[in-house]
Chains A and B, each alone.
Chain A
Amino acid sequence: MAKYGMVVDLERCQGCRACMEACKVENNTTESMFWMYVFRFEEGTYPDTKMSFLPRPCQHCDNAPCVKVCPVGARYKREDGIVLTDPDRCIGCRYCSLACPYGVNYFNYQKPQDAYYALGIDWEDPDVTSVTGGVVPPYKNPDHDLLYGEEQRRTAGGGHAKGVMEKCTFCVHRVENGMLPACVETCPTNALVFGDVSDPDTPISRYVRAREPWHLLEETGTEPSVMYVGGKPPTLALTEIERPKARV
C-alpha cells in the first residue's frame, strides 16, 4: 500500500501562489476557501526586512486531531495516508476545524452557488445563461462526484454543499488516476514534491533522504504527512503582508 506524502521546499518557493490558483480551478472551491494557502510573511522593520513564504495545504496528519474529534466519522483517514471528509455524513458541527492546529478546514456557510466568485457577472443574466446553461459555476469537475478508495465514499471535492466542512483532499481524484495533485503539477519552481514515501525509489523518498525535513507545529504531535525542507518553522513574530480579502 502506498503512503502518500508531500515535501514543500521553502528554498524554492517564491510565493507566487500559482498552487492556490490551481487548487481553486481544479476543485471549484468557492470564494474565501483556500484548501491550499501560501503565507507571505514579512520580518523586521524597514529597511531591514526579509520576506518568506509558507505554503500550507492540509497536513494529512497520521495522528489527525480532526479525525479523532469528528462525532460521526465523516472525517476519516485512509490507509494510504489521505485524510478526507465525507460530505454526505458531515453534520456541520465544525469541531474538526477547531481541533486542527493548522486552520485548513473551510465550512460552507452558504449555498456554494451563492459563494462563487461573481467578478461582476450576473449568473442569472439571460446572455450569461445562454453560454453557461444556467450552471454555477459554469464548469464543475465531474470527477468530484465519483466514489474513491476502498471505502467507496465521496470526498469533500464533491461536497460543496451548504452546512458541511471541506478541506484539501490531496486531489484524491487525480492521485487515484496516477496524476499529481493540481498544486504540485502547477508549481513553476518544483517547490512541491508529492509521492509515495513508503517506496524508497520515488523522487519524494530521495528528497527526504537527501535533506532534513521538518514538520509544521511538531509540538502538537499530529505527525503530518506534509514535510518542509529549508527555511525555518514560522513564529508568531512573523506578520502576513496582506490578508486574503474575500467575501463569505
Chain B
Amino acid sequence: MATTARGRPALPQGIGRVTPGWWAFFAATLIVLAFGIVAIIRELTAGMVATGMRDVGTAGGATWGLYISMVVYFIGVSFAGITVAALIRIFDIERLRPIARMAELLTIVSLILGAFAILVDLGQPLRGITNLFGFARPQSPFFGTFSLVIAGYLFASIVYLYLGGRRDAALMAKHPGRLQRFHRWWAAGYKDTEAERRRHYQTSFWLALGIIPLLIVAHSTLGFVFGLQVGRPGWYGTLQAPAFVALAGVSGVGHIIVLAAIIRRLLGAQRRITMEAFSWLGRFLMVLLAVYLYFMVVELLTLLYATPEVEKRLSDALLTGTYAPIYWGSVAALVLPMIALMWQALARRWNVGILVASGVLVNLAAIGKRYLVVVPSQTHGTLLPYEVGSYSPSWVEYGVVLGLFALGALLVGLFIKSFPVLPLEAEEEVSVDA
C-alpha cells in the first residue's frame, strides 16, 4: 500500500498529495487569477470606462457586453451538472454514478463564476448585494436570475453535493491528516447506518425531483431577461427561453464530458468511468444539440422569411456583416460535433478524444452564441435611426473573464485534491480503514 513521507497510508485518489505538476497547475491558475484581480481593481478605480462598453444610442455602443455573455454562459454550464446528477438519482443509472459528484461540482463552480460575472458587470457592485436584499422587485426579469438561479439553485446544488458526499466524508474522516478536520466537518456525525442511508437516499431523490423543474424555470428566467424586451430587435421572442435552456444543456454536457475525461486520465480511472458512461453522455449531448439546432433553424427561417425592417439590419449584420465570422464559426462549432456524435452513435463506437473535441467545440459555440444574443441587438438593434454602433471588449474585460476561468479551474483543482471526486469504492474504503 502506498504511504506518504510520514509513513501514514496515502489517501485514495491522490487526495492531499500535491505533486509538482499540481503545484504548477495551482501556480498557473493563481497567476491568471491575479491578472483578473488587477483588471477588476482597474475597473473599480477608473469606473466602467475601463471596459469597452458604452451607451446604446448616441454613444453608439453596447452597454452589455462580454460580461453578460459570460454570465449567461456560466449559468448555462451549471444546468447540465445538476441535471445529470438528478437523472442518475431518479432513473438509477448505475454506470453514470461515478460522474455524479464531478457534475455537481461543475454546477456549483459555474454558478459561483456566474454570480461573480454579474457583480463585475454592475456599476455599483456592493450596492448590488445590499439593495437586492432591501428592494428586489419580482417584476424584473432579473429577479429570477438573482433569486432562483443564484440563490435557490446554488443552494440546492450545494445541499445535493453535501448529502451525496457525507458517506465518503465519514470514511475519509477516519484517516488522520491535515484534511481530517475538513472531512469530519463534512461528515457531521454520519455513521453510515441503515436509517441514515435510507434518509439520505430519500432526501436526494425528492431533491432531484424538485431540482429539475426549478432549473428549467431558472434558466427560462435568464432567457426572459432578453425575450421579454419588445424594444430590442432580436431579443423579443417566445423561443428565447427554451433555446436558452437547450443551449445551456449543450454547453453543460459538453463541459462534463471534458471534465470527466480529464479526471479519468488524471486518476487513471478508466475502469470507474467506463466507455458506457461516455457513450451515454455523448448520446445525451447529441439529443440536446439536435434540439438546439432545431431552434436555431426555426429562428433563422423566421428571421429570413418575414423580416421587418428593423430586424433586417440585425440579420444582415449577423449573417453577412460585422458578426458573420462569429455567427458562422459558432454554427460550424455546433454542426461538426453533431456530425461526429451521430457518426459515433450509428457506428456504436465511441472515442473519448472525439467526444472531448466535441465538448470543447460546443462550448466555444455556446460562448459565441451568447455573445451574439447580447451584443448585436444593441449595436445594430436601435429602433430610432441612430447610427450603427460597435463594441469590442477591452483588456480589462478579457482579463476579468480569464481570471474567472482560472478561479473555476482553481476551485475544481482544490476540490479534487481535498475530497474524493469519484465516490469511494470498496477497496478504497479498506485502505482508509487500515
Contact = CB atoms under 8 A, between A and B. Distances in A.
Do the two chains bind? yes
Contact of B386 (A32, A97, A240, A246): A240
A91 B122 CA distance: 6
B56 A72 contact: no
A109 B47 contact: yes
Given A69-B141, A109-B49, A236-B309, A99 B136 contact: no
A109 B231 CA distance: 23
Interface residues on chain B, size class: 35 or more
A225 interface: no
A216 B53 CA distance: 27
Interface stretch (A1-9, A33-41, A175-183, A202-210): A33-41
A93 B121 contact: yes
B137 A71 contact: yes
Contact of A163 (B59, B122, B386): B122
Given A71-B146, A92-B128, A236-B385, A101 B47 contact: no
B123 A107 contact: yes
B140 interface: yes
A136 to B, nearest CB: 15
Contacts of A110: 46-49
Interface string B34-64: 0000000000001111010111111110011
A200 interface: no
Given A71-B132, A72-B136, A216-B384, A103 B141 contact: no
A15 interface: no
Contacts of B47: 108-111, 162-163
Contacts of A164: 123-124
A107 to B, nearest CB: 6
B313 A70 contact: no
Interface in A67-84: 68-74
A89 interface: yes
Contacts of B313: 236
A246 B309 CA distance: 29
Contacts of A244: 58-59
B142 interface: yes
B230 interface: yes
Contacts of A92: 48, 122-124, 127-128
A236 B316 CA distance: 14
Contact of B378 (A98, A108, A246): A98
B121 to A, nearest CB: 7
B116 to A, nearest CB: 15
A102 B231 CA distance: 8
Contacts of A71: 132, 136-137, 140, 142-143, 146
24 contacts: A65-B230, A68-B139, A68-B140, A71-B137, A72-B132, A89-B131, A91-B128, A92-B48, A93-B122, A98-B56, A101-B384, A102-B231, A103-B58, A103-B384, A109-B49, A110-B46, A110-B47, A111-B47, A163-B124, A217-B231, A222-B231, A240-B385, A244-B59, A246-B59
List the 4 closest A-B pairs by CB distance, nearest first: A92-B123, A103-B57, A163-B123, A101-B231
